[in-house]
Structure 1
């Protein structure tokens, strides 16, 4: 007869193996359960379990079944929050996978709170509120095991988890939301267990808020069965610490006098002897002042745990530095407390607070109790409308004990090292994170208040103050420069966590903050290198930028500070930090509009930079309207500013080019160039910029030869005046390479563009926006030159990924490259991906620019080429004819873009049987292209070869043959016999023209 589960088995005859699976929180229960099983003749293996969220639950549960025997799950409601996981996943796994393997799973339940409904499949035995004997009986019954009449003895009998140690002194209540830290707790237990007798002391070291106290309390609860006595001693105040330590004498029944010193000596002696308890744990929480260590720190068979911010403990105990949460711990905690947020949002919050537990607790409380959405919460935090010490409307507030601990530390420092308080308070007028405190010593001429001038003049005092703050884990030291290089005090940087910044700010008087912010503004102005165009200065600007707002620099009316602010904005534009630049520009405008006249030079300079960044971000209409409004006010002003008007018109011309109004833009740009040349001279920066932009405009108008001559002259001037590695010189070099390629001089373009790209990478880095643009030009040079076909595809794919990473897929520079890569793929046989990319680019341009923009219209020609390659000839002809008509209306009949569309349209007419129409269009196109681009331009020769094909179809063989022969000779002479264009013409493959989307 088959035996039913739970009715008893002959355990002596058939010992079983159990895998006891538990969350780290229930380590003591798992150990007790394993001990019970072993005492009754069975084998047990304990396994701490926290299945990763990204691994399917069925897979993690399946891994447990790889062990022999049955799997015993130690459950409470927390168990099902591991991960955490989407709602319903656990129920699905229990109803499916676990139910299918019900004979392998069993469970005990440690809570009186409801479990998931599907937990019924496990038939968990409740151990809640039972005595040790009853719990053991129920455990064995659930597993169908027989109780031994004489259980085996074990070397050290573990205490039942519900039974506290004989002495349990004011240990903080266990935190039911304690998250992660399992490896740290295991490491700590191992260190204390492995230490030599009398030396089992470990200090949990770290900044306030990192979770030292929580970790110590969890250790006491989790490993309480290992100890007969656990005593908690708050150690912020030395007198309270001594009294609390002495209270043990009464608790242990020791004979001692009433004087504190006598009690302490009696306790130390009892602990050393291990009488009456040999297994003891003492926890000194918040022991920062290491005085009195020799008097209080006990030795003996027990363990000592200290929590401290003071690195001086390394001389007295083992040190365990407490790091921030692991990212999975941070996100898991946030998602358990605020179930409405996604894993990506939780990750963003964790990044914001550096995975430090205390601010994450505050964030989880705000998000969970208020239901606030993450974007709104982070916006308020970043705008300083919320700090890490603000209490939510409901739920848990900031722990008063933590604020008290900070107050005690600051008061102690005021007495022992007041100059450290000066440095700490000054640091809160910078932004949290990396703080370039070395500026204080690097710029002694900065206007420091009298009480802070010692920082610039007294190096020993400066060093002592910093050492003190670092020693107390308030700040950490950072240095700039190569690894291993010697750094002077003027280069010194420190890191202040946001939590420390918020707490110290809250404990600093308003008067001190105002004085210190003024000093920091002065330092930032002095540290401004004054030249954001030079990429060598960009690391300094990146260092200054975060501190503008917290120092009050954005509100300053001092010209020197305002110029530093504008230079930081210019850096954002030049370095490609467009999103940050737009945000900064709006912040500046909000502040300056209250105090600065609309037409004052700082406000005009602000508008210029904001307009630049708007255009670089693809917001061409917004940039134009911003500048147009300023120009209207300038022209209406009582005193005209011709230079101010020219600067604004230059920006407007730039916007007009991007908006497709090429003739209007060129006329305005010519006016700007002539005006700057007259007022400033040919060598000044505004004149050189105007010359460069004239070249851009000529290129868009299809006047490639004129653009080339002008760009060559601009390049020579910039090389002479700015030197070869200047960002503007590099831009001119790339423009010349672009001109050469559009002129059909592919080899010359390639030989010029390759060294230009190398310089870009050296000076600006490989991922700077201007470098990526130069690399895109190089890819097109290699494609057109025809000798690098194998390398072009992979390099274009890689470059596209980098453009998407920097700009996103909808940015105009990404769309341009999507177009060129899609054309390349079509040309080399990957029609499916080509169609996808071209369709994406066409839709992107239509959304960004509108359907009537020349670039959006020209994209129809690329769509037609994809259709034609797919055999959709009628649809392709419709695309080509639409592109031709649209571009002719906006650009005129002789623009190279129009002529290229005409080449494609003639091809489509031929393929669709309209031979006479094809001949007429091809004749007209060849005549126009010879006039526009010359006799030997590749597009001209393609039009000549195309006309010969149309004439051949019209049976005009003699003219067709002569045109074809002349075209082949010219192609061989200009491009070479092995160039793809020459080979295609020789094979009588119909030539085509793909549209390069270019906005300038």
Structure 2
């Protein structure tokens, strides 16, 4: 800096007008705060002087403000308008030099500025630390730093120094140095997010393809980055990639989440909601057109959410900001900056030709700038030129027809000047649009590539040159994870806009396309990690999944490719992506059925995985039809595939259990277990699964002691063979705690489940689906144990919220817990919410499983108890009698669920004055309960107390007294004198039974 620059201002200015292009808002905001801390009044002025207004007049308008005018400069500043460099030099040497005492400047670039800029004596802030930058700024303005300013900083809200990025900066696209205009739209977007209600600051940029939504979102993230501590970008073209990318934020935030995508997503949403560890966050969902996952993924909290989409349905979830085409000044300004030889009238003509739509304008500007072609010739080619080798592509989504011809011109030129760039384009067209893992071409040089592509694995300079050309022509953008200088070509990804992909696919389709698609599916197979059970590989599978169909991998006869396809399906099942898995399985089956025998091993594996996905998503009938048809084929085949028949039998047994056919399921499951022991041995993984499933079936049949005995054995074997921390071993622990609770051994169940849940959290994470199952089981154990009643409600509400996030509100697992929570609320007097929840669960089960399913029938008992508590005694009696009759017909008179329904129906008869009928039902229920559950089971004792109540109503007081006294003594001995069951019996409160659906 010159001596004049250091001392030019004798005194500190009373006011500073900070003039900046919108691109440099972060610097302007930082400068304004530095001046505020020194007590200097200042005003921010975003500046983009209209080209038609003389530059001297625009600069003169700035001098209307009092004090100093500080220009925030870089090479971009002098392209505003844009204007010829000569005009700027003339004004700087004339008008600005004549008012040198009013103008000052800072420089943010190390690139050369116009020579005449020296008159502004700019101080450089490029590449220096914050303290030095502040010192230079204040010195240039003649401001003596105040010591007290540093103390005030501690109490204010600091603007981050622009060269200091947010603490977390996640995969945001590189800033476009040619970003043009949109200043008003960006300002409005920021204002809407800032003014939104806390917890619901979400806005969708809505517009057609090619309108620039992604570019605006990226510019917003860069321009307003000092306002955030976390900026996280989520590409949303593909649902699996979207969920995986959003879930990756959990690790970056240091959250104690496991590896399952749904678990990580829930952890992220909860952390963002709390604002812990960061309250100032921005999450961008780019290209999110399907709103059905909005309630599961969309975060709420103190931060901001930005969505880009073509779907107007986002208005239901977020604020909507419509993205228009460029205004004409933005269009012409961009064209003239990118192609300096283009005049203003010519730029206006090109902009009109393309309807001011950004994407085709970007391509046109790139063509004109790179080729230096004159505009009349270019427009003649656009308007008249046709390629005889391709069909005329139809305009789509409001895209200007003229731009399609423009793309044809570009690709024709590249064919002549750089054919390798066209080969990369053709290869990209064999992937899906969006993020393309192009680096796998170089990562697996051993893959067999067609002759025209082999150069890609050996000629790095040509690879880099061709990619640079495509990026320069705005056909592709680089989309590498992490710093570019840390990634090799084998890790490189690119991004191709879906509209560009559609156009390029048609314009490059030719004799090589089939070979290119074959090469891509071969590369996808090479990139398959080979172990979809390992959650560390899930990000890779999420990346490969979108490209299976466009590459033709689903139709491939290559066994290696078929294995990769099945592994992607296994990934969907293991990661909880059931909807995507079901769609993928349908597509695979449609393709493979055309050329593969139904009993070929890949088809058998497909059926196994498809059945798993269907059952996990609650589509039990479809799973049963699928498995049953396969078993029929297997049993008719010769020679018989014994292992296949056995595995298919296990799947059918699982289907039958879900469909409520418990007896048939048990018979088949025993056959499967015997066969597995014969074929594989007692300790093989498949055998242990069959044994666990038999225990589950016994539990559903109400044979709790048998289930417990078998589960004890299974747990012990799994602890030896699989080790205590294996997920299947932990699941056996849940089953054993459930057995103990259903046997009435509440203290033992609670003690076991508390330790089991701790192990789940340690091994699987606090929000893994199996951990949530363990947590739900713990809430039921604590409720029955009786010592945690004050905390149970909050625990159950939290568990229900987490289950809903994992499975959705209508999933059978969630419905079961909705019923459990409703029963708890009814017991504690919140009848309105209890009724809503139980009605929801009953309707859900009826819709999912049909009215005759034991779950749907048992739910009538829950509904009847709510009616009874509300004083609707006649309706309650009808409902409870219906539940008793339905379950008796389907399960038999001795099932514990039937005995519980008899307990409730007896009470309803008594309350409706039918005391003799009540006593008859209570006596029969007690007899059956003693036989089925034993004399000390809590349900048996409840039947005994109920009978005593009915006998007192019939004035048979002696027998009633003996029954009541015996029950009280047993309850005191088994559950304790202060247990709620014991206290209720002592107070002669009629007992009831809560239906519980479980699997």
Aligned residue number for residue 59 of structure 1: none
**Deviation for aligned residue 1:440:** 4.9
- Provide the residue aligned with 2:77 in structure 1: 201
Q: Deviations over 1:272-308 (max 9, x none)?
A: 32499989xxxxxxxxxxxxx9999998999xxxxxx
The 1:815–1:312 alpha-carbon spacing in structure 2 relative to 1, beyond 3 Å, is: closer
Pairwise mapping of residues 594-673 of structure 1 onto structure 2 (< 5 A)?
594-673=594-673
What's 2:89 paired with? Answer: 272
Identify the residue that residue 530 of structure 1 maps to in structure 2: 530
> Residue 821 of structure 1: CA displacement?
1.0
**What is aligned with 2:859?**
859
1:432 maps to which residue?
Answer: 433
Does the C-alpha gap of structure 1 residues 840 and 343 become closer, same or farther in structure 2, counting only changes over 3 Å?
Answer: closer
Deviations 1:234-269 (A, max 9, x none): xxxxxxxxxxxxxxxxxxxxxxxxxxxxxxxxx865
Q: What is the deviation of 1:825?
A: 0.5
**Greater RCO between the two (CA within 8 Å, min separation 6)?**
2
Report what 1:804 is aligned to. 804
Deviation readout 1:689-722 (Å, 9 max, x if unpaired): 2222211111111111211222233333334334
Q: Distance in 1 between matches of 2:997 and 2:558?
A: 45
The alignment status of 1:915 with 2:915, answered yes or no, reads yes
Which residue of structure 2 lines up, in the alignment, with residue 134 of structure 1? none
Q: Could you say which residue in structure 2 is the equivalent of 1:741?
A: 741
The equivalent residue for 1:331 is 206
State whether structure 2 residue 310 is matched by structure 1 residue 349.
yes
Match of residue 715 from structure 1:
715
The residue correspondences of 1:223-372 to structure 2 (distance < 5 A) are 272-274=89-91, 328=203, 330-331=205-206, 349=310
Q: Deviations over 1:318-366 (max 9, x none)?
A: 99999998685733779x99xxx9999997535999999799999999x
Contact 2:92–2:119 at 8 Å: present in 1 too? no
Deviation at 1:165, TM superposition (A): 5.7
Q: Residues 470-869 of structure 1 correspond to what in structure 2 (within 5 A)? A: 474-479=476-481, 495-499=495-499, 501-502=501-502, 504-761=504-761, 764-869=764-869
Q: Deviations over 1:144-194 (max 9, x none)?
A: xxxxxxxxxxxx9x99x9x95689xxxxxxxxxxxxxxxxxx9xxxxxx96
- State the 1:562 CA deviation: 1.0
For residues 313 and 845 of structure 1, the distance between their equivalents in structure 2, rounded to whole angstroms, comes to 53
TM-score by length of 1: 0.62
- Cα 1:784–1:412 change in 2 (3 A) is farther
What do residues 61-86 of structure 1 show as CA deviations (whole Å, max 9, x unaligned)? xxxxxxxxxxxxxxxxxxxxxxxxxx
Task: Give CA deviations for 1:921-970 in whole Å, capped at 9, x if unaligned.
Answer: 22221221122122222212222222232233333333333332332232
Decide whether aligned partners of structure 1 residues 628 and 460 sit closer, same or farther in structure 2, where only a CA change above 3 A counts: same
SS at match of 1:530: coil
Which residue of the partner structure matches residue 392 of structure 1? 396
Q: Deviations over 1:861-881 (max 9, x none)?
A: 111111111122222222222
Residues 581-626 of structure 1: CA deviation (Å, up to 9, x unaligned)? 1110111111111111122121122122222222222222222222
Partner of 2:349: none
- Root mean square deviation, CA, Å: 4.9
Instruction: For residue 479 of structure 1, give the secondary structure of its aligned residue in structure 2.
Output: coil
Measure the CA separation in 2 of the matches of 1:833 and 1:573: 34
CA distance in 1, matches of 2:417, 2:925: 85
**1:403 and 2:407 matched:** yes
> How many angstroms apart in 2 are the aligned matches of 1:311 and 1:798?
40
The change in CA–CA distance for 1:440 and 1:749 in structure 2 (over 3 A counts) is farther
* In structure 1, C-alpha distance between the alignment counterparts of 2:326 and 2:718, rounded to whole Å: 52
**CA distance, structure 1, for counterparts of residue 487 and residue 601 of structure 2:** 39
Give 5+ residue unaligned stretches, structure 1.
1-23, 25-44, 49-155, 168-185, 187-192, 204-218, 221-229, 232-266, 280-292, 303-309, 366-387
Change (3 A) 1:715 1:568: farther
Structure 2: distance between partners of 1:359 and 1:662: 62
SS of 1:330's equivalent in the other structure is strand
Is the CA contact (8 Å cut-off) linking 1:312 and 1:471 kept in structure 2? no
2-structure distance, mates of 1:269, 1:978? 94
Unmatched tracts of structure 2, length 5 or more = 1-21, 23-42, 56-61, 63-68, 97-110, 121-172, 190-201, 213-288, 295-306, 315-319, 328-353, 358-391
Aligned residues: 711
Q: Provide the rounded CA distance (Å) in 2 between the counterparts of 1:849 and 1:827.
A: 27
Separation (CA, whole Å) in 2 of partners of 1:295 and 1:843 = 72
| Distance change in 2, residues 1:426/1:628 (3 Å) | same
Q: 1:435 to 1:765 in 2, by over 3 A?
A: farther
CA offset at residue 809 of structure 1? 2.8
Q: Say if 2:711 and 2:732, in contact at 8 Å, map to a contact too.
A: yes
Q: CA deviation at 1:981?
A: 1.5
Structure 2: distance between partners of 1:597 and 1:322:
61
CA contact (8 A) 1:576 1:768 kept: no
Q: Which secondary structure does the structure 2 equivalent of 1:551 belong to? A: coil
Structure-1 separation of matches of 2:439 and 2:842 = 52
Indicate if the aligned counterparts of 2:206 and 2:323 stay in contact, CA closer than 8 A: no
Q: TM-score, normalised by structure 2?
A: 0.62
Deviations 1:103-153 (A, max 9, x none): xxxxxxxxxxxxxxxxxxxxxxxxxxxxxxxxxxxxxxxxxxxxxxxxxxx
Q: Are the counterparts in 1 of residues 207 and 322 from structure 2 also a CA contact under 8 Å?
A: no
Aligned to 1:87: none
Q: 1:641 deviation in Å?
A: 2.3
| Structure 1 stretch displaced more, 706-715 or 696-705 | 706-715
2:373 alignment partner in structure 1: none
Residues 672 and 690, structure 2, Cα contact 8 Å, conserved in 1: yes
Q: What's the counterpart of residue 68 of structure 1?
A: none
Aligned residue in 2 for 1:132: none
Q: CA deviation at 1:915?
A: 2.6
The alpha carbon displacement at 1:802 in A equals 3.2
